[in-house]
Every structure is written in C-alpha cells, then in structure tokens.
Amino acid sequence: MIVRPARPAAALAAIVLLTCGIARAGTPIGPDQHFTGRVNGHHAGAIVRVVCPGPSTVGRTGAVLSGQTFSVSHSPAGTGYTGLFSQVYAWFTANAGVNGPLAARLTRYGTDVAIPAGVQVPCDGTGQVEFSSCPYLAPCAYGWVPTFVTVRFANVAA
C-alpha cells in the first residue's frame, strides 16, 4: 500500500477552515468581532414561552418561563459588532424601559445564558431581543453595532 501525503489544496483548505475566525463554544468574546444573537438557540424563528394565566388581551404582559436562554455565535458575516468591548448584553426591546436593567451579560460564544428572572414581555405577538456590546442606555465608545433577533411570544398558560 502506498501512502501519499495530503494534497496541498486540501491541507490549505483545512487550515483556512480552522483559522477563519469562527469561534468554538466557550471561546471568550473579544473586541473587534462580528457576532450573531440567538434566543433559545435560534437566530430566526425564535419562540419565547410566556406565562400569562387567563385570557390574553392586548397590552398584557407576563413572565418569561424559566429555562430559556440567550447566546451569541462568532460569525464573520454577523451583523453585530463588539467594537472595543469584550462582552455582549441581551434584552427584550418590547419593554426596554422596564426590562433594561434585566439584561443578560454574555462573555463567551456558544454558551447559553438564562433569560433573567422577572423579565416581563407581551403575552402574545412578536417582539425583538437586542444584542449589544454596549449595556442598555450606557454611554459607549464609537464603533459597536447591535443586532436584533425577532421572537414570537407564546402564552403557555392560555
């Protein structure tokens, strides 16, 4: 049996895939990186389960069911950008004035962080989660770019 060395093109492709900037789960978030936000593991089509006993009415809010998460993935094509910062915060924009201080802080890619207890969101309909390296309402340095994930709220107590 003759053993041939790997073809140069295949070896180069493997090196490019390993070094193209895609971080593995648990890799620390760093400055000058693009990222994508995820809610319950999804960047698109995310569902957030809400506990709203009784009939849903327009404008009514309820608590986010425990066990749900935010996370971020490092992605060269991601629309979020960390700028000078080494973390990403996530919060629901529907009630940002109420929930702003209840933002989750993410420091590693691919690591689920629980949606903070006490967050109130609409009982049904759609909303957005903002992922930003600048904390809610903080004065931040130039260069960071937030990204958003559209979510659908589903009342589990209806």
pLDDT digits (tens, 9 = 90+) for 40-49: 999 999 999 9
Confidence at residue 139, expressed as pLDDT on a 0 to 100 scale: 84
- Bridge-based pairing of strands 147-155 and 125-132 is antiparallel
Q: How far is it, in rounded angstroms, from Cα 76 to Cα 65?
A: 32
CB neighbours of 72 closer than 8 A, spacing ≥ 6? 29, 35, 36, 37, 38, 80, 88, 90, 106, 109, 110, 131
In single-letter form, the type of residue at position 21 comes to G
Q: How far is it, in rounded angstroms, from Cα 16 to Cα 13?
A: 5
11 in a domain, yes or no?
no
Determine if the pTM surpasses 0.85.
no
Higher pLDDT, 12 or 153: 153
Lowest mean pLDDT among 2-11, 84-93, 123-132: 2-11
Q: Above 80 in pLDDT, residue 125?
A: yes
Task: Output the domain CATH number for residue 57.
Answer: 2.60.40
Q: Above 50 in pLDDT, residue 154?
A: yes
Measured in degrees and rounded to the nearest 5, phi and psi for residue 9 equal -65, -40
Of all helices (H) and strands (E), which one includes residue 15? helix 8-19
7 in a domain, yes or no?
no
Which whole number is the average pLDDT over 138-149?
A: 89
Confidence at residue 101, expressed as pLDDT on a 0 to 100 scale: 65
Structural domain harbouring 42: 24-155
Q: What is the mean pLDDT of the chain?
A: 83
Higher pLDDT, 143 or 3: 143
Q: How far is it, in rounded angstroms, from Cα 65 to Cα 49?
A: 6
129 in a domain, yes or no?
yes
Please give the tally of structural domains in the chain. Answer: 1
3-state SS assignment for residue 14: helix
Percent of the chain scoring above 70 in pLDDT: 79
39 in a domain, yes or no?
yes
User: Hey, what are 17's tokens?
Assistant: 């895939």
Which whole number is the average pLDDT over 93-114?
A: 83
Confidence at residue 96, expressed as pLDDT on a 0 to 100 scale: 63
52 in a domain, yes or no?
yes
Strand 61-64: give its sheet, edge to edge: 104-106, 88-92, 125-132, 147-155, 46-51, 61-64, 120-122
1 in a domain, yes or no?
no
Confidence at residue 4, expressed as pLDDT on a 0 to 100 scale: 46
Confidence at residue 6, expressed as pLDDT on a 0 to 100 scale: 45
Instruction: Give the model confidence (pLDDT) of 7-20 as tens digits.
Output: 444 433 333 333 34
